[in-house]
Amino acid sequence: MTRRIARLMAAAIAGLLLVAAAPQPGRAAEAGAQARSRTVALTFDDGPSKYTPQILDILRRNDVKATFCMLGGNVGAYQRTAKRVVKEGHRLCNHSRNHPDFTTLSNSRARSQIVYTQNKIREVTGRSPKVFRFPYGSSNSRVRQVVRNRDLRILGWTVDTRDWARPGAKVIADRAVRGTRPGGVILMHDGGGNRTQTVAALDRTIKRLKAKGYTFVLA
């Protein structure tokens, strides 16, 4: 590229930036951009379970929507709860039938884990998840392709509260709040064991993140 073309391109880019920034008064534009970027998503894995309704109550009181990565094998026993997740505006996520490590599965077994859960969730809630999260976050390119072939987006996380290890509600909330950056995805669990601590941590986590200017989005 010649120097002249490079200069022209730089000028054009600067021009575009000026045009984009021009209509908004400085301070308000800055505050607006910051508010837009300070988003965080709450995600709950391994449910539905008997703890899920308590989590839904807290989310409703705080007017927050979240994403629920359900195990197909749990949905039949908690049909009302699964329906309530949808009814209250939360997002469904497929988290397999019974939580295997997908890197150990053949393509056909991986596919059947996914398809079973898609079918079960649709049968019970009337909706099909559009996202999938690997159990343990464990994947490779082969099984990621199996997921994509079912038209599912793969969901990860940026903040692992490790709430399943039951470190105490205060530690769970601290990890969630301190670990969150704009655009973050917080991993918590509404199933897979005793989730009393997660339930106890949730309200204070939401309130502290809101106080820091975060708004909650679907993952």
- Please confirm, yes or no, whether 160 is among the known catalytic residues: no
Whether 90 is catalytic is no
C-alpha 3/C-alpha 12 separation (Å) is 14
Q: Phi/psi of residue 179, each to 5°?
A: -80, -10
Tell me how far, at minimum, the Cβ of 56 lies from Zn ion, in Å: 18
The minimum distance between CB 204 and Zn ion, in angstroms, equals: 23
Residue with smaller CB distance to Zn ion, 46 or 190: 46
50 alpha-carbon distance from chain centroid: 21
3-state helix, strand, coil in the chain (%, to 5): 55, 15, 30
**Residues 122-161 as x/- pattern, contact with Zn ion by CB under 5 A:** -------------x--------------------------
CB of 219 closer than 8 Å to CB of 67 = yes
Looking at beta carbons only, is 155 or 214 nearer to Zn ion?
A: 155
Q: Cβ contacts of residue 30 below 8 Å, gap of 6+?
A: none
Identify which of residues 96 and 205 has a Cβ nearer to Zn ion in the complex. Answer: 96
CB 75 within 8 A of CB 82: yes
Decide if residue 46 touches Zn ion (CB under 5 A): yes
Contact 96, 72 (CB under 8 A): yes
SS3 26: helix
- Minimum distance of Zn ion from residue 162's CB (angstroms): 12
Site size toward Zn ion, by CB under 5 A? 3
The residue within the footprint of Zn ion, chosen from 40, 41, 45, 177 (CB under 5 A), is 45
The residue range among 16-24, 28-36, 41-49, 201-209 that interacts with Zn ion, by the rule CB under 5 A, is 41-49
Enumerate binding residues for Zn ion (CB under 5 A). 45-46, 135
Which residues carry out catalysis?
Answer: 45, 189
